[in-house]
Amino acid sequence: MKVVLLSGSKVGSKTRTAMDYTKKAITEKYPDLETTLIDLAEYDVEFSDGRNYLEYEGDTGYVTKTIMEADAIIIGTPIFQASIPATLKNIFDLLPVNALQHKVASIVVTAGSSKHYLIAENQLKPILGYMKAQIVQTYVFVEEQDFHRKEITNDDVLFRIDRLVEDTVVLTETYTKIREEKEAAYGF
Amino acid sequence: MEKYRINPSKGLEFGIYTLGDHIPDPHTGERISAEQRIHEIIELAKIAEQAGIDFFSVGESHQEYFATQAHSVVLSAIAQATEKIKIASSSTIISTSDPVRVYEDFATIDLISKGRTEIIAGRASRVGLFDLLGYNLRDYEELFEEKFELLLKINEEKIVNWSGQFRAPLRNAEVIPRPQSGSMPIWRAVGGPPASAIKAGYAGVPMFLANLGGPATSFKFSVDAYREAAKQNGFDPAQLPISTAGFFYAAETTQQAQKEAYPHVNQGMKLINGRGYPKQQFAQGADTRDVMNVGSPQQIIEKILYQHELFGHQRYIGQMDFGGVPFDKLMKNIELIGNEILPAIKKYTAKK
């Protein structure tokens, strides 16, 4: 199983911090999984111009191909201007229609205010749904007050990250099994 | 329909097309050489002709896993190797070529083939060739529309006066050689959504509609929109032929056809588009109402007749070599077409 953790912002450190915790949780609990953390701040990703993702080169090609090869994606996003950041939206724009079919997607949100709680629900989930992801319904919402100098200090958040990781892996394994059984029944 | 060399009273024309893909066989992982692939395409055209198939076309693609970038050169070889089968490009990417050169090439192939050649012009479904050939992807739509218009003009007029955005103007230009009968059929290649079909109808040009898979009724929408647009712009839809193009694979039973075709279609899609073909959708493809012609000869006959009833189209072309299908399997397909499918289709669609 391949899991990609996508830290969706070029700005700030909180989403990356949360994703580092998530990565640590997943590698500790499931050391055999192939996990890759992509922090968009470290890559020079082009804006989508409509071509097939296989035709992009360099960082853009690397990021899109790595996501397309994953079985599960854990998306980390800050909330900017009451929305997901453009860097993250661009990743979706770079991918083809139905790109997330047969993939599991789960969400970690970092935000300055609890007022942004429904943004993942209202903006991110519809995109993931349109792209046919199997979405882990509960997500982790981390507020400014849960951080202290690049560390997460709220144990509730840490427990929730552990549960998100577990749910992501369980759903991916289960879904893969269901799909394999179903496909075997077609006989071709 | 005479202008397009089609006589509907003879029934639905049946053809085969290849995109010239050069993909490893999914079972062995082995890829034949580009030389062998090109020769097999030429051979396939010859065998198709012997089986009584009406039409054979070769596509242009400039990316990895393809061997017919110079598709007009391959068509030229096919023109020489065959005698009566119609030949065409499916499609020529007119956006990134000079219409004058395309016309010169295809008029020449028409002379070699003694009046059997057609052009199907498309916009490119993959856009890597824009970089390769020095065009800006931002001009995607305008490039096609302008160059396609010029191509049609060259076909209609002996002396061309023209100016546009993407090519040097033509002043009293005579584009030669002329095709055998002075002009040749030029089709517009159209993808799924109706917007492009409407443009074809508006221009009053025949339409080649790609419909790889999915319910046939959803393509009916494009067909109707095409005819309606043609009518609105003063063309008679009855004079404008429609062709459809999609996946084809025949075997003794539908189960066997699916079993044999799926690994190729799936791997071909994976390598070229980055996504495999969902098994669930492929399984549904066997349903008579689905447009994908994969199945037993009887199943395919039923499907094609159903589609003919629905679309009222004049030609169907099938893609059966996608994804490294070995040549002996292609021969087997042609045998089933020639012996079982073709006679039945002609019998039921020819006007008595």
Please compute the mean of the pLDDT values over residues A71-75 and round it to a whole number. Answer: 98
3-state SS, residue A117: coil
Name, in order, each residue with C-beta under 8 angstroms of A103's C-beta and a sequence gap of 6 or more. A70, A71, A72, A73, A133, A134
CB contacts < 8 A, A to B, total 52
Lowest mean pLDDT: which of A76-80, A136-140, B71-75, B274-278?
Answer: B274-278
What domains can be seen in chain A, in order of their start residue?
A: 2-186 (3.40.50.360)
Contacts of A90 by beta carbon, 8 Å cutoff, 6+ apart: A45, A47, A48
Chain segment B73-130, per-residue pLDDT in tens: 999 999 999 999 999 999 999 999 999 999 999 999 999 999 999 999 999 888 888 9
User: What pLDDT does residue B312 have?
Assistant: 96
Task: Tell me the per-residue pLDDT of A120-176, one tens digit each, with 9 for 90 and over.
Answer: 999 999 999 999 999 999 999 999 999 999 999 999 999 999 999 999 999 999 999
Report CA torsion sign: B93, B98, B99, B102: negative
Asked if B345 and B315 count as a contact pair (C-beta separation under 8 A), the reply is: no
pLDDT of amino acid B1: 86
Please list every residue in chain B whose beta carbon sits closer than 8 Å to the beta carbon of residue A50: 127, 137, 140
**Residues B126, A187: C-beta atoms closer than 8 Å:** no
Q: Which ipTM did the prediction report?
A: 0.83
DSSP string, B67-120: --TTHHHHHHHHHHH-SSSEEEES-EEGGGS-HHHHHHHHHHHHHHTTS-EEEE
DSSP string, B281-304: HHHHTTSTTBS-EEE-HHHHHHHH
Residues of chain A contacting B127 with CB distance shorter than 8 Å: 50-52, 55
Chain B residues lying within 8 Å of A187, measured CB to CB: 255, 258-259
B273 by Cβ neighbours in 10 Å (0-12 / 13-18 / 19+) ranks as middle
B111 exposed, middle or buried (CB, 10 Å; 0-12, 13-18, 19+)? middle
- Hey, what amino acid is at B244? T
Task: Measure B339 CA to nearest chain A CA, in Å.
Answer: 26
User: Does A54 contact chain B (CB < 8 Å)?
Assistant: yes
pLDDT band of residue A88 (cuts 50, 70, 90) is very high
Contacts 24+ apart (CB under 8 A), A153-160: A157/A18, A158/A21
Arithmetic mean of pLDDT, B30-52: 98
CA distance B352 to chain A (A): 41
pLDDT at A181 over 80: yes
pLDDT of B142 > 90? The answer is yes
- Domains within chain B, CATH numbers bracketed: 2-349 (3.20.20.30)
pLDDT over 90 for what percent of chain B?
Answer: 93
- Give the pLDDT confidence of B94-105 residue by residue, as tens digits: 999 999 999 999
Please give the span between the terminal C-alpha atoms of chain B, in angstroms, as a whole number.
Answer: 18
Give tens-digit pLDDT for A29-40.
Answer: 999 999 999 999
Band (pLDDT 50/70/90 cuts) for residue B175 is very high
pLDDT over 90 at B131, yes or no: no
